[in-house]
Amino acid sequence: MLPRLRRNIALRTTLTIIAVVSAVGLGVISVAGKVLSERAQAQYQQSITDLLTTVDNTLRLAVFLEDAILAEEVARGLAGNALIDKVAIYAGDTLLAGAPKIASDSTSRVSLLHSPFDSADPVGRVVVLPDHEAMAVLLYGQLRFAGVLFLSLLAATAVSAALAVLFLVVHPIARISSRLHRLNIETGEQVPAPASHREDELGRLVDDINRILNRLVDRLGRERSERNLREREERRLRAILNNAQSGIFQLDIGGHVVSWSPAFVRLFQGSSTRDDEKAEPASILLSELPRDAATAMLSLLNRVSDEQREVHGEIPVELATGLRWISVTLTPLSPGQYQGIANDVTEQRQAQQAAETLALTDPLTGCLNRLGFNQALEQQAAQHAEGDWQHVLMLDLDLFKAANDQYGHDAGDEVLRAVARRIQRQLKSGDCVARLGGDEFAVLLPGEVSSERLTAVAGHIIEAVNRPIAVGEHRIHVGASIGIASGRLGTVSGAALLKHADEAMYRAKREGRNRYCVAEN
């Protein structure tokens, strides 16, 4: 019953009207019952009054004469009436006729009887007790009539309301609903208003529905166009991402890479797919990357999280194909979310290192050049504490110019290469040798080195250089003059140290060549 009520407007409306009319009717019947009861009692009393008036003269005469027989006749006549239950006639206080001991209450009727000759002289009284059952029957008849009239009115109202709602509301709404279900919105089709309801509320409702449908069609069209445009843009961006050399990815503060392009996997794992998984994972943990790369990426993630600005770093990634260097830039997107771009800079780094090496290296001997030696002095100074020692040997070849003039420049170049190799063999790891130009060489010995080792190294270099150098069919002899200078970091600069060693070297040349001299403090 309840589901049917929810689905049926006419039934709900009819029951609502019945309930309202019933409530109002019950109130009306209650008031009407009271009014009818009062009216019935009044009519009853009036009927008794009329009846007593009819026999008034006879009663006064019977009481005045105290004629019990006449009084009894009148009492029987009154008691025989359907409206009266009992009658008692008194002459003074003496019962002449009728029922004795009639209770005097609100329903009994007492009328004084006067002398037929003197209307001011009371001679007795008549007591009439109405028939309550007759009164109730009369009242019930009137109430039943009112009830039947009310029920008839209620039934007529309910039927009229149901029919009115059914034909004026339910059927038109049902037709509108049926039309809506068959409506093809995409073609711009609209709902026609029922002919008899074009100007009323249903007509306005249909107009509102059509306006909503028009807006809906317009919005659907815009959304379809936007969706098509968005899908085309997504396909374009996806094609760019899938074919881009840069690895584009997004990660969260927990170290989860939540989205990535194929290039990201290729850069950090060596391929664009994961062989151990058929389906693409929901995320990649940074800890799953090669160890050094994972550590460096986590360090970058901590930096961007702390600084909340774009950070950059170059990360070493050890792959099966060898060591690769990946440039990574992380940018904050939102709290706990970061955008990353990764590029392989291995070739650029190698090219930069090659350029730096070329700029710092003597192309003839493979040793450092003057710029490289100066940089080595600075690096050694940065790696050692102030007060630590630094030692420089300055070497100039003896008799090299004569050999170069006699045997030619190619032979001279071979002599320089041989001298460089012989010097390097006399040094330890961490020591470095440079060709400063022409036939000048310099050696750097960092850290704590005893004077005995310094002179021993110088002597060994001289002995090595003095050995004949085979160049084709020739055996070329050259010598070496060496100057040795030592100084503490923070006390003497690298340039000054090199100058002191150069002065000591020229002093060795002046003292006879092919020897070493130690610079004075």
| DSSP assignments along 299-333, one per residue | HHHHHHHHH-S-EEEEEEEEETTEEEEEEEEEEEE
Give the pLDDT band of residue 107 (cuts 50, 70, 90): low
Average pLDDT of the residues in 456-464: 95
Separation CA 413–CA 403 (nearest Å)? 11
Establish how many alpha carbons lie within 13 A of residue 499's alpha carbon, considering only the half-sphere containing its beta carbon. 6
Percentage with pLDDT > 90 across the chain: 27
Please answer whether residues 465 and 397 qualify as being in contact, where contact means their C-beta atoms are separated by less than 8 angstroms.
yes
Q: Where are the domains of the chain?
A: 2-136, 183-236, 244-349, 363-518
Going by the DSSP 8-state scheme, the letter that residue 519 receives in this structure is P
The identity of residue 427, as a single letter, is: L
Mean pLDDT within 24-39:
75
Supply 33's token pair. Answer: 């019952």
The fold for domain 363-518 equals: Alpha-Beta Plaits (3.30.70)
Q: How far is CA 198 from CA 174, 191, 193, 206, 215, in A?
A: 16, 12, 6, 9, 21
Residue of 406 and 166 predicted with greater confidence: 406
pLDDT tens-digit map of 61-95? 888 888 888 888 888 888 888 778 788 888 888 88
| Least confident residue range of 101-110, 129-138, 198-207, 423-432 | 101-110
Residue 369 in this model has a pLDDT that exceeds 70: yes
Give the pLDDT confidence of 494-518 residue by residue, as tens digits: 889 999 999 999 999 999 899 999 9
What is residue 498's predicted lDDT score, i.e. its pLDDT?
Answer: 92
Q: How confident is the model at residue 48 (pLDDT cuts 50, 70, 90)?
A: confident
In whole angstroms, what is the distance from residue 207 CA to residue 201 CA? 10
d(CA 88, CA 123): 14
Contact 481, 396 (CB under 8 A): yes
Q: Are 440 and 481 in contact (CB under 8 A)?
A: no
How many other CB atoms sit within 10 Å of the CB of residue 171?
Answer: 13
Tokens 């239950």, located at residue: 85
Is the pLDDT at 395 greater than 70? The verdict is: yes
Say yes or no: domain 2-136 is CATH 3.30.70: no
Query: pLDDT-derived band of residue 274, with 50, 70 and 90 as boundaries?
Result: very low
Q: What is the pLDDT of residue 6?
A: 62
Is 501 or 59 the better-scoring residue by pLDDT? Answer: 501
Average pLDDT, the chain: 83
User: Which pTM was predicted?
Assistant: 0.45
In the predicted model, what is the mean pLDDT of residues 129-153? Answer: 76
Q: Which of the four pLDDT bands, split at 50, 70 and 90, describes residue 277?
A: very low
Q: What's residue 244's pLDDT?
A: 66
Say how far residue 3 (Cα) sits from the centre of its chain: 38
129-157 average pLDDT score: 77
Side chain identity at residue 94, one-letter code:
T
Q: Span 11-39, mean pLDDT?
A: 75
Q: Pick the residue with more confidence: 76 or 104? A: 76
Among the residue ranges 70-79, 122-131, 280-289, 464-473, the one predicted with the least confidence is 280-289
Rounded Cα distance, 24 and 247, in Å = 81
The DSSP-derived string for 464-509 is HHHS-EEETTEEE--EEEEEEEEEETTTS-HHHHHHHHHHHHHHHH
CATH number assigned to the domain covering 244-349? 3.30.450.20
Both ends of the chain: CA-CA distance in Å? 118
Q: What angle is formed at CA 506 by the lines to CA 503 and CA 509, rounded to 5 degrees?
A: 155
Alpha carbon distance 193, 214 (integer Å): 16
* Contact status, residue 505 vs residue 395, Cβ threshold 8 Å: yes
pLDDT at site 509:
93
* Distance of alpha carbon 176 from alpha carbon 190, whole angstroms: 11
d(CA 421, CA 364): 12
CB atoms within 10 A of CB 476: 21
Q: What percent of the chain is modeled with pLDDT above 70?
A: 91
At 278, the pLDDT band (50, 70, 90 cuts) reads: very low
* 163-180: average pLDDT: 78
The answer, yes or no, to whether residue 279 has pLDDT greater than 60, is: no
Long-range contacts of 458-466 (CB under 8 A, 24+ apart): 458/393, 458/482, 458/484, 458/516, 459/516, 460/426, 461/393, 461/395, 461/422, 461/423, 461/426, 462/514, 462/515, 462/516, 464/422, 464/423, 464/425, 464/426, 465/397, 465/419, 465/422, 465/423, 466/514
Which tokens sit at 31?
């008031």
Question: 10 falls in which pLDDT band (50, 70, 90)?
Answer: low
- Asked whether the domain spanning 244-349 has the same topology as the one spanning 2-136, the reply is yes
What is the mean pLDDT of the segment spanning 189-197?
A: 76
Report phi then psi at 240, rounded to 5.
-65, -45
Which comes out higher in pLDDT, residue 419 or 54?
419
